[in-house]
Amino acid sequence: MATKPTIAFSHLGCEKNRIDTEHMIGLLAEAGYQVDSNEEAADYVVVNTCSFIESAREESVNTIVELAEAHKKVVITGCMVQHFQEKLLDELPEAVAVVGTGDYHKIVNVINRVEKGDRVSEISADPTYIADHTVPRYRTTTEGVAYLRIAEGCNYRCAFCIIPHLRGNQRSRTIESIVTEAKQLADQGVQELVLISQITTNYGTDIYGEPKLADLIRALGKVDVPWVRMHYAYPTGLTPKVIDAIAETPNFLPYLDLPLQHSHPEILRAMNRPWQGQVNDQIIENIKTAMPNAVIRTTFIVGFPGETNSHFEHLLKFVKRHEFDHVGVFTFSPEEGTPAYTLPNTVSQAVMDARRDALMQVQQPISLKRNRQCIGEVVDVLVEQENPSTGEFIGRSPRFAPEVDGLVYVEGNARLGSLVSVKITDADIYDLYGHTLEN
- The DSSP letter of residue 198 is S
Q: With beta carbons less than 8 A apart as the criterion, state whether 210 and 246 touch.
A: no
6 burial level (CB within 10 Å; 0-12, 13-18, 19+)? middle
- Feature table: binding site for [4Fe-4S] cluster: 14, 50, 79, 154, 158, 161
Half-sphere exposure of 187 (CA within 13 A, CB side): 6
Q: Cα(214)–Cα(35) distance, rounded to whole angstroms? A: 38
Residues in the chain: 439
- Feature table: binding site: 14, 50, 79, 154, 158, 161
Question: Among candidates 369, 368, 296, 291, which has minimal Cα distance to 328?
Answer: 296
Q: Got the DSSP string for 333-370?
A: ---TTSGGGG-SS---HHHHHHHHHHHHHHHHHHHHHH
Beta-carbon contacts of residue 194 (< 8 Å; ≥ 6 apart): 15, 145, 146, 147, 148, 228, 229, 230, 231, 401, 402
| CA angle (282 as vertex; 280, 288 as ends), nearest 5 | 105
Q: With beta carbons less than 8 A apart as the criterion, state whether 394 and 409 touch.
A: yes
